[in-house]
Amino acid sequence: MIALIDGERAESISVADGAVLRGDGCFEAIRVYGSVPFALDAHLGRLARSASLLRLVVPERELLVAWCRALAREGGDGVIRILLTRGSVVPDSDAPPRCIVLHHAAEPVPPTLRVLPVDAPWHSAGRDWDLAGAKTISYAPNQAATRRARAEGFDEALLVSVDGTVLEGPTFALAWVVEGTLETPSLDLKILDSITRRFALEDAVRLGIPVREGRFPLARLAEASEVMAWSTTKEVTAVASVGDHPFRPGAVTATLAAAYRERVQREVEASTGG
Protein backbone atom coordinates (compact mmCIF):
# COMPACT_ATOMS: atom_id res chain seq x y z
CA MET A 1 0.00 0.00 0.00
CA ILE A 2 1.15 3.54 -0.82
CA ALA A 3 -0.46 6.47 0.96
CA LEU A 4 -0.38 10.25 0.72
CA ILE A 5 -1.96 12.53 3.31
CA ASP A 6 -2.43 16.05 1.97
CA GLY A 7 0.10 15.16 -0.71
CA GLU A 8 2.84 13.93 1.66
CA ARG A 9 3.91 10.35 2.35
CA ALA A 10 2.25 9.25 5.58
CA GLU A 11 0.18 6.37 6.93
CA SER A 12 -1.73 7.76 9.92
CA ILE A 13 -4.17 10.45 10.98
CA SER A 14 -5.19 11.71 14.41
CA VAL A 15 -7.33 9.42 16.54
CA ALA A 16 -9.41 12.55 17.26
CA ASP A 17 -10.49 12.84 13.62
CA GLY A 18 -14.19 12.59 12.90
CA ALA A 19 -13.50 9.86 10.35
CA VAL A 20 -12.17 7.69 13.18
CA LEU A 21 -14.58 8.60 15.96
CA ARG A 22 -17.81 9.15 14.01
CA GLY A 23 -17.37 7.76 10.51
CA ASP A 24 -17.77 11.32 9.24
CA GLY A 25 -16.23 11.64 5.80
CA CYS A 26 -16.59 10.70 2.16
CA PHE A 27 -14.56 8.68 -0.30
CA GLU A 28 -14.08 7.42 -3.84
CA ALA A 29 -12.55 4.18 -5.17
CA ILE A 30 -10.91 4.36 -8.59
CA ARG A 31 -9.55 1.43 -10.58
CA VAL A 32 -6.10 1.75 -12.10
CA TYR A 33 -5.51 0.00 -15.43
CA GLY A 34 -2.17 0.23 -17.23
CA SER A 35 -1.05 2.77 -14.59
CA VAL A 36 -3.97 5.04 -15.58
CA PRO A 37 -6.68 5.98 -13.02
CA PHE A 38 -9.84 5.07 -14.94
CA ALA A 39 -12.72 7.58 -15.16
CA LEU A 40 -10.85 9.94 -12.85
CA ASP A 41 -12.86 13.03 -13.81
CA ALA A 42 -16.18 11.28 -13.13
CA HIS A 43 -14.98 10.06 -9.73
CA LEU A 44 -13.63 13.46 -8.73
CA GLY A 45 -16.92 15.04 -9.74
CA ARG A 46 -18.84 12.67 -7.50
CA LEU A 47 -16.33 13.24 -4.68
CA ALA A 48 -16.93 16.99 -4.92
CA ARG A 49 -20.69 16.46 -4.69
CA SER A 50 -20.34 14.18 -1.66
CA ALA A 51 -18.04 16.67 0.02
CA SER A 52 -20.48 19.50 -0.66
CA LEU A 53 -23.33 17.58 0.96
CA LEU A 54 -21.12 16.83 3.97
CA ARG A 55 -19.64 20.36 4.02
CA LEU A 56 -16.13 19.01 3.85
CA VAL A 57 -13.02 20.73 2.55
CA VAL A 58 -11.87 19.47 -0.86
CA PRO A 59 -8.31 20.06 -2.15
CA GLU A 60 -7.89 21.78 -5.50
CA ARG A 61 -8.84 19.45 -8.33
CA GLU A 62 -5.42 19.83 -9.95
CA LEU A 63 -3.79 18.54 -6.77
CA LEU A 64 -6.12 15.55 -6.56
CA VAL A 65 -5.43 14.69 -10.20
CA ALA A 66 -1.68 14.96 -9.65
CA TRP A 67 -1.75 12.83 -6.51
CA CYS A 68 -3.87 10.12 -8.13
CA ARG A 69 -1.75 9.98 -11.27
CA ALA A 70 1.47 9.84 -9.25
CA LEU A 71 0.23 6.89 -7.19
CA ALA A 72 -1.09 5.18 -10.33
CA ARG A 73 2.31 5.46 -12.01
CA GLU A 74 4.10 4.19 -8.92
CA GLY A 75 1.68 1.47 -7.87
CA GLY A 76 0.49 0.25 -11.26
CA ASP A 77 -2.76 -1.67 -11.65
CA GLY A 78 -4.89 -1.70 -8.52
CA VAL A 79 -7.27 0.62 -6.68
CA ILE A 80 -6.85 4.24 -5.60
CA ARG A 81 -9.00 5.44 -2.74
CA ILE A 82 -9.53 9.09 -1.88
CA LEU A 83 -10.85 9.85 1.61
CA LEU A 84 -11.82 13.27 2.95
CA THR A 85 -12.03 13.57 6.73
CA ARG A 86 -13.75 16.05 9.06
CA GLY A 87 -10.78 16.85 11.27
CA SER A 88 -10.94 16.91 15.05
CA VAL A 89 -14.23 16.36 16.86
CA VAL A 90 -12.52 16.46 20.28
CA PRO A 91 -12.40 19.89 22.01
CA ASP A 92 -8.77 19.68 23.11
CA SER A 93 -7.41 18.48 19.75
CA ASP A 94 -6.36 20.61 16.80
CA ALA A 95 -6.28 17.78 14.21
CA PRO A 96 -7.11 19.39 10.83
CA PRO A 97 -9.29 17.90 8.08
CA ARG A 98 -7.31 15.48 5.93
CA CYS A 99 -7.26 14.24 2.37
CA ILE A 100 -5.96 10.69 2.15
CA VAL A 101 -5.06 9.20 -1.21
CA LEU A 102 -3.90 5.60 -1.12
CA HIS A 103 -3.12 2.87 -3.63
CA HIS A 104 -3.55 -0.83 -2.97
CA ALA A 105 -3.85 -4.08 -4.89
CA ALA A 106 -7.20 -4.95 -6.43
CA GLU A 107 -9.03 -8.16 -5.66
CA PRO A 108 -9.66 -10.33 -8.74
CA VAL A 109 -12.97 -9.63 -10.47
CA PRO A 110 -15.20 -12.61 -9.54
CA PRO A 111 -16.48 -14.78 -12.42
CA THR A 112 -20.00 -14.70 -10.93
CA LEU A 113 -21.73 -13.61 -7.73
CA ARG A 114 -24.34 -15.28 -5.54
CA VAL A 115 -26.36 -12.64 -3.69
CA LEU A 116 -28.74 -12.87 -0.73
CA PRO A 117 -31.63 -10.39 -0.45
CA VAL A 118 -31.31 -8.54 2.87
CA ASP A 119 -33.79 -6.03 4.30
CA ALA A 120 -32.19 -2.58 4.56
CA PRO A 121 -34.28 -0.43 6.94
CA TRP A 122 -31.41 2.09 7.14
CA HIS A 123 -31.60 2.87 3.41
CA SER A 124 -33.60 5.97 2.43
CA ALA A 125 -35.18 4.00 -0.46
CA GLY A 126 -36.42 7.18 -2.13
CA ARG A 127 -36.95 9.39 0.90
CA ASP A 128 -35.00 12.62 0.53
CA TRP A 129 -32.50 13.62 3.20
CA ASP A 130 -29.38 15.77 3.59
CA LEU A 131 -26.88 13.13 2.42
CA ALA A 132 -28.93 11.45 -0.30
CA GLY A 133 -26.50 10.28 -2.98
CA ALA A 134 -23.33 11.03 -0.99
CA LYS A 135 -20.65 8.34 -0.95
CA THR A 136 -19.91 8.51 2.76
CA ILE A 137 -17.56 6.31 4.77
CA SER A 138 -20.41 5.32 7.12
CA TYR A 139 -20.69 1.83 5.63
CA ALA A 140 -21.27 -0.22 8.79
CA PRO A 141 -24.87 -1.25 7.91
CA ASN A 142 -23.85 -2.23 4.37
CA GLN A 143 -20.87 -4.21 5.66
CA ALA A 144 -23.12 -5.97 8.16
CA ALA A 145 -25.39 -7.01 5.27
CA THR A 146 -22.39 -8.44 3.41
CA ARG A 147 -21.24 -10.37 6.48
CA ARG A 148 -24.73 -11.81 6.93
CA ALA A 149 -24.83 -12.93 3.31
CA ARG A 150 -21.42 -14.57 3.54
CA ALA A 151 -22.35 -16.29 6.79
CA GLU A 152 -25.24 -17.87 4.88
CA GLY A 153 -23.00 -19.08 2.05
CA PHE A 154 -23.44 -16.24 -0.45
CA ASP A 155 -20.87 -13.87 -1.92
CA GLU A 156 -22.73 -10.63 -1.34
CA ALA A 157 -25.96 -9.05 -0.15
CA LEU A 158 -28.70 -7.42 -2.19
CA LEU A 159 -30.30 -4.56 -0.28
CA VAL A 160 -34.11 -4.50 -0.36
CA SER A 161 -36.33 -1.79 1.12
CA VAL A 162 -38.79 -2.50 3.90
CA ASP A 163 -41.60 -2.57 1.30
CA GLY A 164 -39.74 -5.12 -0.85
CA THR A 165 -38.25 -2.80 -3.49
CA VAL A 166 -34.90 -3.77 -5.01
CA LEU A 167 -32.26 -1.14 -4.18
CA GLU A 168 -28.57 -1.97 -4.72
CA GLY A 169 -25.75 -4.10 -3.38
CA PRO A 170 -23.67 -2.87 -0.43
CA THR A 171 -20.96 -1.79 -2.90
CA PHE A 172 -22.48 -2.29 -6.34
CA ALA A 173 -25.46 -1.52 -8.57
CA LEU A 174 -27.74 -4.28 -9.82
CA ALA A 175 -29.42 -4.82 -13.20
CA TRP A 176 -31.26 -7.64 -14.95
CA VAL A 177 -32.86 -8.52 -18.27
CA VAL A 178 -36.58 -9.22 -18.81
CA GLU A 179 -37.70 -10.08 -22.35
CA GLY A 180 -34.65 -8.37 -23.84
CA THR A 181 -34.97 -5.14 -21.83
CA LEU A 182 -32.28 -4.12 -19.37
CA GLU A 183 -33.88 -3.07 -16.09
CA THR A 184 -32.25 -1.39 -13.10
CA PRO A 185 -33.41 0.54 -10.01
CA SER A 186 -33.69 4.27 -10.70
CA LEU A 187 -31.65 6.95 -8.97
CA ASP A 188 -34.78 8.46 -7.41
CA LEU A 189 -34.53 5.58 -4.92
CA LYS A 190 -31.47 7.47 -3.60
CA ILE A 191 -29.14 4.64 -4.52
CA LEU A 192 -25.55 5.61 -5.30
CA ASP A 193 -25.00 7.15 -8.72
CA SER A 194 -22.51 4.43 -9.66
CA ILE A 195 -19.93 5.44 -12.28
CA THR A 196 -19.97 1.90 -13.71
CA ARG A 197 -23.78 2.05 -13.81
CA ARG A 198 -23.57 5.26 -15.84
CA PHE A 199 -21.20 3.67 -18.34
CA ALA A 200 -23.19 0.44 -18.63
CA LEU A 201 -26.41 2.32 -19.35
CA GLU A 202 -24.65 4.53 -21.92
CA ASP A 203 -23.23 1.42 -23.61
CA ALA A 204 -26.61 -0.31 -23.58
CA VAL A 205 -28.29 2.64 -25.32
CA ARG A 206 -25.45 2.91 -27.82
CA LEU A 207 -25.70 -0.81 -28.61
CA GLY A 208 -29.47 -0.72 -29.07
CA ILE A 209 -30.35 -2.59 -25.87
CA PRO A 210 -33.69 -1.29 -24.48
CA VAL A 211 -33.33 0.19 -20.99
CA ARG A 212 -35.92 0.67 -18.27
CA GLU A 213 -35.11 2.42 -14.97
CA GLY A 214 -37.70 2.32 -12.21
CA ARG A 215 -38.90 0.83 -8.96
CA PHE A 216 -39.16 -2.93 -9.01
CA PRO A 217 -40.27 -5.47 -6.40
CA LEU A 218 -37.91 -8.29 -5.53
CA ALA A 219 -40.34 -10.69 -7.25
CA ARG A 220 -39.48 -9.02 -10.55
CA LEU A 221 -36.13 -10.82 -10.57
CA ALA A 222 -37.92 -14.16 -10.86
CA GLU A 223 -38.95 -13.03 -14.37
CA ALA A 224 -35.39 -12.18 -15.41
CA SER A 225 -33.31 -14.22 -17.83
CA GLU A 226 -30.00 -12.85 -16.49
CA VAL A 227 -28.80 -10.63 -13.65
CA MET A 228 -25.60 -8.61 -13.31
CA ALA A 229 -23.68 -6.46 -10.82
CA TRP A 230 -21.93 -3.20 -11.72
CA SER A 231 -19.14 -1.53 -9.74
CA THR A 232 -15.62 -0.14 -9.94
CA THR A 233 -14.13 -3.28 -8.41
CA LYS A 234 -16.58 -5.85 -9.81
CA GLU A 235 -16.83 -4.19 -13.24
CA VAL A 236 -19.69 -6.02 -15.03
CA THR A 237 -20.17 -9.38 -13.31
CA ALA A 238 -22.85 -11.99 -13.89
CA VAL A 239 -25.01 -12.93 -10.90
CA ALA A 240 -25.40 -16.71 -10.60
CA SER A 241 -28.20 -16.64 -8.04
CA VAL A 242 -30.44 -14.30 -6.09
CA GLY A 243 -31.28 -16.21 -2.97
CA ASP A 244 -32.24 -19.71 -4.11
CA HIS A 245 -33.16 -18.59 -7.64
CA PRO A 246 -30.37 -19.54 -10.10
CA PHE A 247 -29.38 -17.60 -13.21
CA ARG A 248 -27.03 -18.30 -16.09
CA PRO A 249 -24.64 -15.64 -17.45
CA GLY A 250 -26.39 -14.16 -20.47
CA ALA A 251 -25.69 -12.39 -23.73
CA VAL A 252 -26.52 -8.89 -22.47
CA THR A 253 -24.15 -9.27 -19.51
CA ALA A 254 -21.39 -10.50 -21.84
CA THR A 255 -22.02 -7.62 -24.26
CA LEU A 256 -21.89 -4.97 -21.56
CA ALA A 257 -18.80 -6.56 -19.97
CA ALA A 258 -17.03 -6.43 -23.33
CA ALA A 259 -18.12 -2.83 -23.87
CA TYR A 260 -16.77 -1.90 -20.45
CA ARG A 261 -13.40 -3.50 -21.20
CA GLU A 262 -13.27 -1.66 -24.52
CA ARG A 263 -14.03 1.61 -22.73
CA VAL A 264 -11.18 0.97 -20.31
CA GLN A 265 -8.80 0.13 -23.14
CA ARG A 266 -9.70 3.30 -25.04
CA GLU A 267 -9.03 5.49 -22.02
CA VAL A 268 -5.74 3.78 -21.24
CA GLU A 269 -4.57 4.12 -24.83
CA ALA A 270 -5.65 7.76 -24.97
CA SER A 271 -3.78 8.51 -21.73
CA THR A 272 -0.60 6.65 -22.63
CA GLY A 273 -0.49 7.34 -26.37
CA GLY A 274 -0.80 3.61 -27.08
pLDDT in tens, the chain (274 residues): 999 999 999 989 999 999 999 999 999 999 999 999 999 999 999 999 999 999 999 999 999 999 999 999 999 999 999 999 999 999 889 899 999 999 999 999 889 999 999 999 999 999 999 999 899 999 999 999 999 999 999 999 999 999 999 999 999 999 999 999 999 999 999 999 999 999 999 999 999 999 999 999 999 999 999 999 999 999 999 999 999 999 999 999 999 999 999 999 999 999 987 6
pLDDT at 274: 64
Q: Please report which helix (H) or strand (E) contains residue 178, including its range.
A: strand 173-178
Dist. CA 105–CA 31, nearest whole Å: 10
Distance CA 253, CA 238 (A): 6
The pLDDT assigned to 202 comes to 98
Whole-model pTM: value is: 0.94
What SS3 state is found at 135? Answer: coil
Residue ranges and CATH numbers for the domains of the chain are 2-104 (3.30.470.10), 112-263 (3.20.10.10)
Give the angle 197-195-143 at the CA atoms, nearest 5°.
Answer: 85
Instruction: Return the H-helix or E-strand segment holding 181.
Output: strand 181-185
CA distances for 32 relative to 37, 135, 192, angstroms: 4, 19, 21
- Helices 195-206 & 40-54 angle (0-180, nearest 10): 130
Predicted confidence at residue 7, as pLDDT, reads 96
Give first-to-last CA distance, the chain, whole Å. Answer: 27
